[in-house]
Each structure stands twice: as C-alpha cells, then as structure tokens.
Amino acid sequence: MKRVKQILSMLCLLLLTGCAENRVEELTDYPNGLEAKEAPILAKRVTEGKLPPVEQRLPQNPLVAKTDFDGYEAPGPYGGTWHRFHTHPELGTWKMTAGYAPLIRWKFDASGLEPGLAESWEFNEDGSMLTLHLRKGVKWSDGHPYTSESFAFYYELCQDERHKYGAPVWCKVDGKPMAVETPDDYTLVMKFAGPNWLVPLWLATGFWWCNQYNIPKHYMNQFHPDYNPEYTDFIEFERQDRPYQNPRRPTLWPWRITKYEKGGFRVQLERNPYYYVVDELGRQLPYIDRVKTSLVPEPQVRVLKILAGEIDCQYRGMELRDLALYLKGEKKGGYQVRQWKSTAGAQPAILINWTAPEPALRALIREQRFRKALAYGIDRVKCNEIAWRGLLQPQAATVSQEGWHFADADGQKLFEEWKRADADFDIDKGNALLDDMGLTRRDKDGYRLRPDGKRIEMLMDVPSSNLNSQENDIGLIVQEGWEQLGLRTMLYTPPGAELSLRRTLGKFTISMHGEAEMDLFTYPDWVFPTLPKYWHPKVGKWYETGGEKGEPPTGPLKRLLDLYDAIKREPDEKQRHQYVRDAVRIHIDEGPFHLGSAARSPALLVVANHFHNVPNDGILGPWAIVTPATSYPEQCWIDEEKQ
Amino acid sequence: MNNPQISEIDDSSLEIGQLSYRQLIWRRFRKSAMGLIASGILLIFYIVAIGADFFAPYHDNDINMRFRHVPPQALHFSMSDGFYVYGLKSTRNPETLELEFTRDETQRHPVRFFFKDGAGGRRLFSSAGPMFLFGTDRMGRDILSRMIYGGRVSMTLGLVGVCLSIVIGSILGTISGYWGGWVDNLIQRIIEVLSAFPDIPLWMALGAALPPGWSSIQIYFGITIILSIIRWGGLARQVRGKVLSYRESDFVMAARAAGAGHWHIITQHLLPGCYSHIIVIATLAIPGMILGETALSFLGLGIRPPMTSWGVLLEEAQRVTVLLHYPWLIFPAVPVLIVVIAFNFLGDALRDAADPYSD
Amino acid sequence: MGTYILRRGLLAIPTLLAISIISFIIIQLPQGDYLDREIQRLEEEFGDSSSLTQVEELRERYGLNEPLWKRYFIWMGGFVRGNFGESFEYKREVHELIWDRIAFTLIISIGSLVFTYVAAIPLGIYSATHQYNWSDHFLTFLSFVGMSLPAFLVALSLMVFAFDIFGIPLFGLFSAYYEGAPWSWGKLGDLIKHLWIPVIVVGVNGTASLMRIMRGNLLDVLGQPFVQTARAKGLREIIVVGKHAVRIAINPLISILGMSLPSILSGSAIVSIVLGLPTVGPILLRSLLNEDIYLAGTLLMMLSLLLVIGNLLADIALAWVDPRIRYE
C-alpha cells in the first residue's frame, strides 16, 4: 500500500512539472516598451544564440503596416495570447485574418492596390509584360530567403502534368499561357500573349492565390519526385503543402502554425520570427506572441463562448440574429461588439435563370415585362422585417455599393438608381405588366396560363441549411407575393449537393444566392455572365469554355460580355470602371436579371476590452479583398494586465 | 381428417374465451386511475390536434410582420367585454435594435367564439386584434396555434409509425417463431444487425438520405418509416417469443391435427394470444416515436417547414438567444411532456391489466 | 465458457460485415459527393467558392469517380488492416481523428451507465418497497418526466442557465485554461467538473426506465413464495429484501445492460452536438451531412463495434451468472 502511495505521489509530481513547463517563460530581462525592436521571447532566443539578430531577420526595406484607420490607437507592447475560434478545419476565417502574404495587396478600404512582398511593379507599353520587384531580404519562417524562385517553382508545378494544379485562369490570354522569367532573385517577369492588365489585381485577390504561389521550394523539394527519387507521385507533396495544417512547412504568415491537433480541433500558432512587416516605429510585427484557436462548428456554443468572454477578438462566425444578445452581454463578457459592413447587395438575391430548362418559361423570363412583374411581386420591406428584424435595407439586387467602381459622385448616383430600380412592392403594377404581356387567361384556381395553355408554375430552390433560415423565410414571402400575381410558385429544397449542381448546371428556374462583390474586374460574374453561376449558368459556361459548351449569349448578355472583354484589354483604370458602369446601365435599363430582397447587413465582430488596434469600421464581406487581413491585424495587441 | 365441426367448436370457444379475457382486461384497467386519466388526456389532445383547423385560433403559418417575438399576453375578463386581451404597443430599443412590446391598455381586443376567419373557416375562439396567449415566434406566428397544428403532425406520426412497426414486427415475428429454421435465423440476424446500429446515427444517416425535394407529406411518411425501421425489431422478437411458446401448445396442436392451414392457425390462434402484449409494447413505443421526431428535427433532418411539428417548434427554440430572451418559444416542450407521460402511464396501466389472471 | 465466448464472438463477424455494407450504402444515398457539398458550403458561408480549385482532379484523387462497390472494397480492405482512409473535410487520416473522440465517447457513456445504475437501483428498490405510497407515485411520476424530456433541450437549457445564473461556462469538456494542456490532476478535476452535465443528461433517460424495471422486477420477486417463506420465518424485512429479493431482481438488469447501450450512445451523440463535446457524435453528423464517406463509415462501424462488444460483454456476464444459457 505504501508503495502505491509513493508511485502515485511521484506521478503527481511528474504531471505537475509537466504542467509548469507549459507556463510562459520569464522574460522580464528583456525590454518590452516602444524602444524594443522585437518581442522579448525572440530577444531571448537571440541572446541564447538560437536566432540571428532582428536586423538580419528583417528585409532591407520592410513593409510598414498602415495605421490610417479609425480605431487604431497606438503601437503596442509585445506578448500575450490571442484566443479565438474557427468554424471549419481548413481555417478559412483565420486565413482571411492572417493568411494573406501576397506580392501585391489590396488596400484596407478596397480603393486600390498597395505593395506587399513586391516593392513595386510595372507593365510594358501594351500590357503584355508585367515586371515585379521583390523586397530584398524577406525570409521564410525558417530563415531561408524568399526569392523569385518561389513563384517560378509554382508556375513550374502548374505546367507539370503530374501535379494537380492547373494553370490559373488569369495567366492565359486568348488561350495561351504566360511565360515566367526570373532575371535575378528579386525580379519576376510575366509575359503574356497579349494585354493582360488585370494581373496585379489577381495577384492581390483572395488568400488562396497567394498561398498557392508562395511556395517554399527549399522545403517542398524534399517531396518532389524530380528532386527526391523516394516519391513517384505528388500525393505526399500535396499533403505537405498545406500551410494551415503542416507546422513544418515554412510560411510567410505573421504567425506560423506550431500545433495542428487532430483535424484542426485545436490549433496553436506562434509569432513568425522572420516576419517582414514592421510598425511605424520600425518594430517587428506581430505584437501578439501566440494564437490559440479551436474548432467550434456548433453556432450556439460559439455564442456562449463569446458571452463567457473566452474570445479575445473574432471576425466572422457570428450571426446577426444574436446581435441583441451580444450587446446585452458586453459588460459581463468584457468585450465590445463592432458592426462592420458586409457590403452585401442582396441577402439573398433571387436568381431568375436566363436559360431556364423549360422552353415556355424561358421565353417568359427573357421578356423584360415578366421579370419586372416578378420584381414588383416581392415585398422587400417584409423580407427585411421578418427575416432580418428590420436591420437591413430593402432594395434591388446589386453588387457592393462600397466597390471601387462606384467611388465618385457619379458612380454613387448610378448605384442609387440601380438600388431603386423596380424595387417597389406593387402587385397592381405587376399584374398590369403581366396582363399587358397577354397572360390574361387564368385557370380555375386563379393562376395565369402560359401561351401554350398550361399553368405558369415556377419552382424556387431554397437552400436547406439551418443556418440560412432567413432564406427560408424570404422564400415564403416571395412565394406569397408571386401567388398574388397569379403565378404558381413552389418552394423546393434540393438535397444537399443537388442545390449547387442545379445551380451550376442551370437546371433551376428560380434560385437564391447571397450577393456581394467588391471587385468586378476579377470576380465579374454577378454583372457579366462569365462563369456558369448565378442567373446565367449556361451562358457563363459558354464564355468560360470559349464557346465549346453552354449556350451562346444573345441580346443584353452579348453586350455585357463584350464590355467585359473590353475591360480586359483596357489600359486605363478609369475607363475600365466606366465599362462596369455601362454594364450596370444595361442592368437598370434592360433588367432586372436577378431580384433583390434585403441588403447591407452589418457584419459583427467581437473585440475584448483588452484587445487593441482593431478598426472601428471596415468591410467584412466578399473573400476577394481578404478583409480583415488588409487591416494588418498583426498590429493588434493585448493589454495583458487586463486580460 | 378434415372435420369442419371440430374447428367450428374450436373457434367459438375461443371467441368466448377471448371476450371474457377482454372484459377482464377492461375491468382491471378501469381500476387504474392513472391509466384512465392518461387516456382521457390523450383523447383530448388527439381531438384538439386532429381538429386543429377549428381549435387553433390562427393558422400555423400566419405571418405577422409587426408582431415578432411578442411575449404571451394575459387573458382578462370583464362583464362588458367578456374575455379580452389588451392591445400591443411596439417600440424599437435604440440600443439592441430589437422590437419591444408593452401593453396598450387603451385598446381591448375581445375574444370571439366561433370566429369566422379570413379563409371562411370557423375557429373555436380567435380575435380580430392581435391575441397571442402563448406569444409569437420570429415571424410573428402564434405559438399556441403552431403548437396545436404541430401536435397534429407529431401525434399522428407516432401512431402511424407504431402501426407500421406493429405490422412489420408482428408479421416477421410470427413467421420467425412459427416456421423456425433458416427463416427464423435470417430474420433474427437482420434484427441483430438493426439493433447493433445506434439509433440516432442511423436516423442521421437515413434522414440525410431523404430527398429534401420531397413534399411535406412525403417527408412526413419518410420520417415515419425511418422511425419505425428501428422499432419493429424489438417487437418482432417479443412476438416471436410468444409464438414459440404457443406453437407447441395444446390448442395449436389440436388445430393442426384438425387440418387447419397455416394462415388459419396464425391468425386465429397465435396472434390473438399476442394481442395484449403487442398493444402494450405499441403504447410504450409511441413516446419514443414522438421524441425521435423531435430529435430528428433538432438535427435538421426531420419534418421541414412549412409543415409544423413539435420537433420543428423545439428546433426553433434551440438557440441561446431564444432561451434567454424569448423563453416562451420553449412552450411546445410542455405538450410533448404531457403526451409522452400520458402514453407511459397508459402503457403501464395496460401492462398491469393485460395480465388479468395474476394477483 | 471459452467456447461460448468464441462462438458468440464469431457470430458477431457477419453482423459487422452486414453493418458495414449497410452503413456504406446509407452514407452515399444522397445526391452528389463531398466536393459538391464543399462548393455549396463555401458559397453559402462566404458567397464564393473560388478558394476551392481543381475540383475534378480532387474528385479523381479521392476515388469519387469509382463505382460504389469498388469504393466499398477499397475502404473495407483498408479497414481490416487498420487503414480507415482519409477524411476529405479534415484532410487527415481517419485514424488520427477518431481515437480521442471514441475515448471521450466511452468516458461519457460509461459515466452515464454507472450513473444510471447507481441512481436507478436504490430508487427502484425504494419505490417497490413503498408501493402505492405517495413517494412511490412521486418517483414514478418523476421517472416518467425523466423519460419524456428531449435530451437536446435539457442539455442546452442546463448549459444556458448554468451560465446565465451562475456564470459558469460549461460547454466543452475542458475550460479554456486546460484545453490543449498536458494531463495533470488539475486537468482531470476540470474534466470531472465539466463531465457531470453530459453524464446526467444522457443518463437521466436510462435511469428513469431502469428504475421502472427494477421496481417491477422487485415487486415480482417480492410476490414469490420463497419471500413469503422468509418473511414467515421471521426474518427482518430489510434482510428479506436486501439479501434475497434484490439479488434475484437485479439479474435481468444485466441483460438490459447490453440493450441500453444503443440509447446511451445515441444520447451522448445528441448531447455532444448541443454542448460541443469532442465525442463521436458531432463529427459523425458533420461527416454524414458532408458525405465525408470514409470518416462517416468508420465512425458508424466503430459505434456498431462498441455496441456489439457491449452486447457480447452483457451476454458473457449473463452466461456467467446463469450457466444454463451457455448450453442453449
């Protein structure tokens, strides 16, 4: 018995010491004021000889984080741990926050581009050659220099038949891929078959492109069949090439993954000692030492975690429906709710399939009066009140009003007109339009008949997900209105993946989809039918495949696609914006092609009172402009005394 | 050896025995107060649920844009107005941006009986003004009405599902017990496989496989079938056990000797012996079905709106916001509780009564 | 005894095979595949699916273009060798994802089982010895209430009100401080502190019905002649009940042990989803909805395996207590 006791107490001791190791190191010997150029934990490692001094870790000309936003307080101390959650094992919301290290960056207000890993870039005269000048001395998180070979290696992979990366859409002009040249370590040249003015935007857009083209060749070589005969395929290569999952893969992110536990249920990150961005005072960022993020797929548990004050700062993952709860819990939870802009132009948009499978319905849909009648049949005020508690604005379906295409007064005027186009709820007007079309015959139930004598019946696809119950509510309201127009409308919830299959293959008649887009140059498909999506799946297919599949555009769609082709060839940015406005004009005059409900919801974020330098206002919307990463969240700091 | 006379006698004697057996059950059942109360409650619930179009003050999907999340209103009585509720005043809380309701005592909305609603139907009681005795949900729908309409779906679903599993279970159980051999073995193995599935994951899997494109009615039956798939196994086992014990009994032997066919023996001799047993099991299985439906809805795999069931209502209450700010949305748990408890008491009483010779 | 166990064990194999086929078919019943769902998820959540590139290539790599039976054999072939395939959603080998979760599932299930028996047997005895007393009626009523509450509602309400009234955040199995920390006594204590809600919520249903059964059994036994004889001999009531009757009345509960496993596992699945516990339930639901076929299939198989083993143990226990069964 005595022995058991002994063993037990020893075990206890062992466990306790194990616990102690987990505590934060004592760092009081190292300065941590505004004079400190690096974090104390790194300074300690430097004195221990484990790390080169900070001057050698930073590039010659480091990127200086922008502070010109409302809510920026002051440069902060180093240290602390940022607790947050993610909603999916691929850390999408985290990559939007701190997984953005592109050659060229979007500005935080999305008004244009600014330098990233590239200090500068220029096109030749006709736009067929882009030269990028990389920052000298940028290093991967393991200290290896970042050079132009990274992009070249990526492009090599794209062209490698064995590897599954296809060449990106934007590198082709008239079907011909670009050529990449690296005259030296810090110069990157892309040559195209013709003018390709939009490439800088593509390089800046979305976290997914930069995470693909920033590939650490020196590390990934080990798994490349050409460099390592152990491998015959790219399976292990791809497994290693997941920056959000593989702690060993060097990264350019402000924080590098140190622990990715069991499918991402708990992820720990630590500051990247070689991060290339500094604050105004030239101190290396990020300020915060560690990040702990855990997977919380259950929305209600997320709510409680926030109310309990367990979250330091969280962008995305909160529902507007819980706003009142969050506001009431501010004091107890020690946090503040901020409302950014979602910039959504329709939540959701009601899509009318231009190429609806049923010929008689298609003929009706192609008639502007019919689409206008449908627009008049939607009670947008009711959509807003019921589904969104009156917190949004009823309006026609548009892209984002904050988009840079509409920045000046003229642009805003046009946008206001677009918002109001056919956006009234007016059953009489709708009925008059339908009567005017000659759809006056009705069956015994009062439903209008098609020219061929059958009842007009439209199936509306409604997403089934619980999270989107707003869409179910709005479906009911739309149905109610259209029935008053004498149009039989049935709600249909396609099983799981069939919803998106029906969308992309163009099998639906009416469907729904949230609408927001800040940049129509790279993501044009809400306005221009360039991809098999939204209201134009088959025409989009035609454009995407270069006319091989799908259906050729006619009438206004043809003109829209011509405008988009003109954008791609246009060197002058102002003129490119003008083409977008011309396209919007077509939507106003010859539309609507898709219908609005309510729009412009606030996007919630939660910031603990001890968490600083988070912008008061901003855009948390479409993925393309990668917010909040563009606000340099690596400048956030934690007041550890109040935590 | 085909002697019709014997089989006739056999039949009639059985008839008499069976009758008195039933009488015995009834006599004993009557003594159980709880059983009687439970059956009374269930009767009332079923009547109200099936007559939902008459008993509910509003239709379950009547949306009231201005009256979202109205708390339950108190019912008042005065000699001049009869029953009435006060009017509602709504203001938007400037801080939380939520609508908040206060009582407007200048307005009185009398409750009218045998009210004629907009669609031309008659309702037992309703009001021209807003009258939400149990409050409203996020779309301004009357919770009381939704509970009544939801009961129609949930309670019948339990009955239909149990009937289904009784049919499957007793047929297969009888076959299994009567014929034995490889048939018995096969059926037993199937039951074993089914019972080795934990039921919620199986529901999840099957529920996820239900085409959501189905109409509400199709889904309703789909769910019923899913729920009964799990339940028939246990029933079949019990029936098999009974049949096994009767198979070698004297009266079955006699019938067989008299040349009666399989069908005759099964329907006339074996099944009647199991009736009481089956009824008890069925009664006790209904609560499981009703709770199963709520669980499926909670997982987002059950009945889908616009059809209303108790599961749908409880699913909508599954939010922290609701529990803290709109607790009246959990009211639908009350009828679930009452009905399930009543079925349990009824089943208990029936079980006691089904064994009339004991004691 | 050895041969009996062996025979029972062998019999479980075809059952498990059948289960594997059925689960695999069920998982793939819905239209489309994982990638279609992923596209849809990205679009619903973020309005854009461009971050998912090379869909067709991925489909080929995951073998999603192969016919169903072939996928089954690939998976089953790996399964018996301990290779469960790769989860699409988590981009990880399935075996890396499941063991922790199965362990926590077992902890909660066994905890609930213990709670069930510890609470139900004394209550059942009390109820039976006080038959038709007001306390018996009260307990009966209480047990029916326990059987009637939907577990998910109880779980969420408990969690919300525990937080709102007492300010204790009870979701998850660990508090933020211990999450991810190495094991220590403090962590163990923290786990136990968090464990009681799921254990009680999962167990309450079983407790109620088990109590009813215990009461019924004991009443049956108490009516039997040998009890009367014992009483007639002048033995004290407490000895009659405690020493003779209860022993016999408990026997059938062993066979119920095997039968109550499915409901306990299901209960823990639902409660875990509500409380965000790291057990099998939440990832099983997600993987089923996302058609993450290898993960879902493996989890279903594991749960079934647990049940089969549980049943086996119950059978063995029963055979041990009652030797006649062995020779049946």
Q: What is the pLDDT of residues B289-336, one digit of tens each?
A: 888 888 888 777 777 777 888 988 888 888 888 888 888 998 898 999
Q: Is B119 on the interface with A (CB under 8 A)?
A: no
Q: Which residues of chain A have pLDDT under 50?
A: 1-4, 7-24, 467-468
CB contact under 8 A, A328 and B318: no
Interchain CB distance below 8 Å, B344 and C147: yes
Q: Do C181 and A22 touch (CB under 8 A)?
A: yes
Collect all residues of chain C within an 8 Å Cβ-Cβ radius of residue B314: 150, 152-153
- Do residue A391 and residue B97 have CB atoms under 8 angstroms apart? yes
Say what the pLDDT of residue A152 is: 92
Interface touch B213/A386, C-beta < 8 Å? no
The confidence score (pLDDT) of residue C90 equals: 78
Rg (CA), chain A: 27
Name the pLDDT band for B200 (thresholds 50, 70, 90).
low
The whole-number pLDDT of residue C49 equals: 59
Answer yes or no: do A389 and B319 touch at CB < 8 A.
no
C96/C295 Cα distance (integer angstroms): 11
Answer yes or no: do A386 and B68 touch at CB < 8 A.
yes
How far is the first Cα of chain A from the last one, in angstroms, to the nearest whole number?
Answer: 45
Q: Tell me the pLDDT tens digit for each residue of B75-95.
A: 888 888 788 888 888 888 877
Contacts of A307 in chain C (CB under 8 A): 163
Check CB contact under 8 Å for C185 and A12: yes
Which residues in chain C are contacts of B205 at CB distance < 8 A?
Answer: 23, 26-27, 29, 288, 296, 300
Determine the residue type at A491: L
Query: Which subunits sit against C, judged by 3+ Cβ pairs under 8 A?
Result: A, B
- With an 8 Å Cβ cutoff, is B68 touching chain A? yes
Hey, CA dihedral for A547, A552, A557, A558, is it positive or negative? positive
Q: Which residues of C touch A623 (CB under 8 A)?
A: 46-48, 50-51
Put simply, the answer to whether C148 touches B205 (Cβ < 8 Å) is no
Residue with tokens 């066979």: C255
Amino acid at C23: S
Asked if A322's CB is within 8 angstroms of B320's CB, the reply is yes
Select the residue of C30, C51, C291 nearest A208 (Cβ to Cβ).
C51
B-contacting chains (≥3 CB pairs under 8 Å):
A, C
For chain B, the straight-line distance linking the first and the last C-alpha, in angstroms and rounded, comes to 41
CB contact under 8 A, B321 and A322: yes
Spatial contact of A339 and A602, defined as CB atoms under 8 Å apart: yes
Task: Give C-chain residues touching A207 at CB under 8 angstroms.
Answer: 51
Who among A245, A463, A622 is closest to C44 (CB)?
Answer: A463
Answer yes or no: do B320 and A389 touch at CB < 8 A. no
Contact flag B300-A498 (C-beta cutoff 8 Å): no
Residue C166 has pLDDT above 70, yes or no: yes
Half-sphere exposure of A504 (CA within 13 A, CB side): 14
Tell if the CB–CB gap between A386 and B65 is shorter than 8 Å. Answer: yes
H or E segment to which residue A502 belongs: helix A498-505
Compare CB distances from B139 to A473, A491, A496 and report the shortest one's residue.
Answer: A473
Q: Compute the count of residue pairs across chains B and C with CB atoms less than 8 Å apart.
A: 126
Query: Could C19 and B198 be called an inter-chain contact, meaning their C-beta atoms sit closer than 8 Å?
Result: no
Could you read off the pLDDT of C167-214 as tens digits, one per residue? 766 666 776 667 666 777 777 887 887 788 788 888 887 888 788 888
Chain A residues with CB under 8 Å of a chain B CB are: 300, 303-304, 307, 321-325, 327-328, 382, 385-386, 389-391, 464-466, 472-473, 476-477, 491-496, 498
- Given a contact cutoff of 8 angstroms between Cβ atoms, the answer to whether B154 and B293 are in contact is yes
Question: 């009945």: which residue's tokens?
Answer: B303
Which of C42, C44, C182 has its CB closest to that of A468? C44
Cα–Cα distance list, A167 to A160, A197, A204, A549, B221 (Å): 9, 18, 17, 20, 49
What chain C residue is nearest to A514 in terms of C-alpha separation?
Answer: C47
Find chain B residues with C-beta within 8 A of C139's C-beta: none
Give the pair of three-digit tokens for residue A260.
């990715």
Work out the average pLDDT over C212-231. Answer: 80
- CA torsion sign for C218, C224, C229, C232 is positive
Question: For residue C29, which residues of chain B lie inside 8 Å, CB to CB?
Answer: 205, 208-209
Helices (H) and strands (E) in chain C, counts: 13, 2
Report pLDDT for C41.
Answer: 63
Burial class (CB in 10 A: 0-12, 13-18, 19+), C156: buried
- pLDDT tens figures, C139-160: 888 888 887 888 888 888 888 8
Q: Which of B196, B206, B330 sits opposite C304 (nearest CB)?
A: B196
Beta carbons within 8 Å of B310's beta carbon, 6+ residues apart: B147, B150, B151, B153, B154, B290, B293, B294, B332, B335, B336
Rounded to an integer, the average pLDDT of C48-53 is 57
Checking DSSP bridges between strand B122-126 and strand B112-116, what pairing results, if any?
antiparallel
- CA–CA dist A552, A548 (Å, integer): 9
Give the separation between CA A406 and CA A412, rounded to whole angstroms.
Answer: 5
Q: Of B154, B204, B206, B214, which to mutate for an interface test with C (greatest number of C Cβ within 10 Å)? A: B204
Does B324 sit within 8 Å of C160, measured CB to CB? Answer: yes
**Cβ within 8 Å, pair A493-B212:** yes
Q: Do residues B67 and B140 touch, judged by C-beta distance below 8 A?
A: yes
Q: Name every chain A residue with its beta carbon within 8 A of the beta carbon of B211.
A: 495
